Amino acid sequence: MQLVTVYSTKNCPYCRIAKAFLDSHDVKYAGIDVGEDIEAAKKMIAISGQRGVPVITVGDEVIIGFDSQRLNELFGEVKFGEQYDVLIVGAGPAGLTAGMYCARKMLKTVIISENIGGQALESWTIENYMGYRVVTGEDLIRKFEEQVRSLNIRIDLDGVSDISRDGDGFAIKTITGATYKATCIILAQGNRAKKLGVEGEERYLGRGLSICSTCDGPLYRGKKVVVVGGGNSALQTAVEMSGVASTVSLIVRSSIRADEVYINLLKSKPNITVHMPAEIIALHGDQFLTGITVKDGQGIKQTISMDGIFVEIGWQPNTDMVKELVNLNDRGEVSIDLDCHTNAAGIFAAGDVTSVKSKQIIIAAGEGAKAALEAHDYIMRNKKLK
């Protein structure tokens, strides 16, 4: 067995998922916290060219991020044609709650997702989920996951690449080549982060540009950082990073659209500078990002030297794989009715991937429960007709 090393930070949810994957496949590894060990962080950056976690080395191979496809190729077991009552796409609050309700209805269920927790996993603090005064996204999702794993539900860390009709049910393919069959589908794959749309963005991802501040924030201790966005997530990230970085520049394109509690916290942090209205028009650097050019509302340009950018400009739905299967609205979200039905019989949807207006963890969880109950009714009706 080749030596496996996982470079991680303490609060990185994707690092935890990577370790959980290795544990579940009985892979022994050495774990190194690069948020606490500066020299180890330098070594990780040198071998990977990345200022982001997780980084996993398997012998001489370097794996960037939680690459479920590659890890499955190395350590997983490809599954072919297993039959389920319900296949759930996504393991965020909606998908995990749907799984729990399916289990309570004694439905054979599998959840397929590239990560566990989705967008909620990256929240520094959550203050509006009932039962918790304050909880981190990682801790809340861990509670969700613990409850689901205590039931007879399978969670496969993989990505769904195709869903098609197969007689009275569905055939599903994944990015690792696994196949499944299911009587019905619950779509709960959530959203993915929006991009800046600036030239060179892909080049600097993990090299100074990050979309997960809870993962990569500790690597910028004492450095100058930029946060982009004007919503709750952006202000929360700016406030949290103000306690880690030496300075924080908040770039807001139009206006701040955040809750009053975050606006007040922002005002209390003397090392945060707000640029508003302003937008990033250029990225600068060689191997790593070292600066940006911003343009204000009068068209005046300014170059800001910095060490890293955290992008918090919103999300877009993960619906590319189902756009020919179900109806989408003008925002690319899955259109559903009040009971989580799509236009396609046997396909239900819940959470942030849907047309439901409010994108909140507690709402996503409730919609997941509704979708599961509707899936159960669908299966029971079909059994009676046979």
Q: List residues with catalytic annotation.
A: 212, 215-216
Q: Which residue has the tokens 């919609």?
A: 367
b/e map 188-211, b = 16+ CB within 10 Å = bbbbeeeebebeebeebbbbbbbb
CA distance 112 to 190: 13
Q: What are phi and psi of 106, to 5 degrees?
A: 60, 35
CA distance 68 to 76: 9
Task: Read off the amino acid at residue 353.
Answer: V
CA distance 329 to 332: 5
- DSSP 8-state assignment for residue 162: E
What residues contact 161, with CB distance under 8 A and at least 6 apart? 173, 174, 175, 321
What residues contact 106, with CB distance under 8 A and at least 6 apart? none
CA distance 356 to 358: 6
CA distance 86 to 375: 8
